[in-house]
Amino acid sequence: MDLRTRYLGLDLPHPFMPGASPLVDSIDAVLRLEDAGASAIVLSSLFEEEIARHGAGPERYLEHLLRIKQRIDLPVVASLNGTTAEGWLQYARLLERAGADALELNFYFVATDLFEDALAVERRIIDITAVLKESIAIPIAVKLCPFFTSLPHLAQQLDRIGADGLVLFNRFYQPDINPETLEIPLELELSTSSELLVRLRWLAILHGRLRASLAVSGGVHTGRDAVKAVMAGADAVQVVSALIAMGPGRLAGIREEFVRWAADHRYSSIGDMRGCVSLARASNPAAFERGNYMRMLQAWHGGES
């Protein structure tokens, strides 16, 4: 099967790659992912607030990026999580100079200000992206969360100012509460395939309507999950939790399962599969939203209490 895809202007042999995580914080781990057939490497995020907290610069991250570029031939996508306009710009330029092939903007922001409206939250993302597009030459992907009132409108605005790709979605870690100690335990919960569903919805809605390429991040654990993501419109498939749970070799396993499924169902290229269940391909776009919702409710035959 022809698995070739194009993501952020990069021609890749296939769409499967690790997503941003500590999985790539050592050279050995990166080499294992290369051996598993990763099409690109997405680094963990450089956090501006962490640099400020520890009073140290980004040298360690930049040196790690340089060492990776020296050891592998794969495209390397740096990831940046800034907190100030100056920080976003300063560190984006440093990452470009260090050799990153592309930059993923990790917008992880929880709105808590009662007096900041939704427009201000979206404007911040758009303004930062616009400044970086004017200031650096490498491709930029914007990693979003799903919690926007009109995600398609935000996506269209980012596309219009030149964002090269969108990553759907950033995974917000939900805090638990220990009622005895009144503390919030820091426990990592890995994703499951059920988290893929919200991503499929928005991939399918956005596919074919933007110039920017689309990546799925979150909920891909099997080849069948990846098939769904590509059918909805994904150009790239990022995997994290499955690799944490089962090791870097799982990336090759997901790819093999994907190819077997595609062969069994007579797909000859990933292009034939991509977006085949998207909104753009729907014969009745209105039914894509409301019709599926109503049929789901009608299909449930339980009684009311």
Q: Average pLDDT per run of 10 along the chain, which is 305 residues long?
A: 97 98 95 98 95 86 97 98 95 98 93 93 97 98 94 97 97 84 86 95 96 97 98 98 96 98 96 94 68 64 50
pLDDT at site 304: 47
**Which domains are present in the chain?**
5-299 (3.20.20.70)
H helix runs in 13-150, sequence order: 27-35, 48-54, 59-71, 85-97, 118-135
- Count of beta carbons in the 10 Å neighbourhood of residue 250: 18
- Nearest CA to 222 among 241, 203, 202, 236? 241
The set of residues, in sequence order, having a beta carbon less than 8 Å from that of 88 and lying 6+ positions away, is: 48, 80, 82, 105, 128, 131, 132
pLDDT at site 300: 63
- For residue 18, give the DSSP letter: E
pLDDT at site 294: 64
CB 46 within 8 A of CB 12: no
- For residue 195, give the DSSP letter: G
- For residue 39, give the DSSP letter: S
Total count of residues recorded for the chain = 305
pLDDT at site 305: 41
CA angle, corner 67, sides to 64 and 73, nearest 5?
Answer: 120
Helix or strand run (H / E) with residue 22:
none
Quickly count helices (H) and strands (E) in the chain.
13, 10
pLDDT at site 215: 98
Q: What's the rounded Cα separation, in Å, for the pair 109 and 115?
A: 15
